[in-house]
């Protein structure tokens, strides 16, 4: 192996590592395009919660009813609610863009925004 070949290999490796580090840091700190849960109550925005942080948020209403939003491992769910039917609690976890959990008795909608898109399962003609 020639001396110039070794210099070329080292240069390419250094450029690749710098590029990889730059992309990693950009993705980590660029919050503009990160997925979050948008919570609305009766059509009014209540809050935005990032999917990349594990949180538990109790959302209380004026009449004493409540929903508990839990975000864990990049997925969101309603883990507890005061509504009688518990459909929102029994709903699957959501993590794809435009997926939502709706609690009709409390007027709450939790929707994923800017998340990864779901692939098409199939199509019909």
Each residue's pLDDT expressed in tens, for the chain with a length of 125 residues: 788 888 889 999 999 999 998 887 776 666 556 889 999 999 999 999 999 899 999 999 999 999 999 999 999 999 999 999 999 999 999 999 899 999 999 999 999 998 666 566 566 66
Helix boundaries (H) for the chain: 3-29, 87-90
Give the integer Cα–Cα distance in Å for 75 and 71: 6
Q: Say which CATH architecture domain 36-113 belongs to.
A: Sandwich (2.60)
Domain borders along the chain are 1-30, 36-113
pTM, 2 dp: 0.68
Cα separation, 106 vs 61, whole angstroms: 8
Residues 60 and 73: beta-carbon distance below 8 Å: no
3-class DSSP state of 13: helix
Asked if 89 and 78 touch (Cβ cutoff 8 Å), the reply is yes
């Amino acid at each position: 192996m020639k001396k110039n070949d070794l210099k070329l290999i080292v240069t390419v490796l250094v450029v690749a590592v710098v590029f990889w580090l730059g992309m990693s840091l950009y993705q980590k700190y660029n919050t503009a395009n990160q997925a979050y849960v948008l919570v609305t109550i009766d059509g009014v925005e209540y809050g935005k919660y990032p999917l990349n942080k594990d949180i538990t948020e109790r959302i209380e209403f004026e009449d004493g009813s409540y929903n508990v939003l839990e975000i864990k491992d990049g997925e969101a769910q309603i883990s507890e609610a005061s509504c009688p039917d518990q459909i929102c609690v029994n709903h699957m976890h959501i993590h794809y863009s435009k997926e939502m959990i709706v609690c009709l008795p409390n007027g709450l909608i939790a929707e994923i925004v800017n998340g990864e898109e779901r692939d098409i399962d199939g199509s019909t003609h």
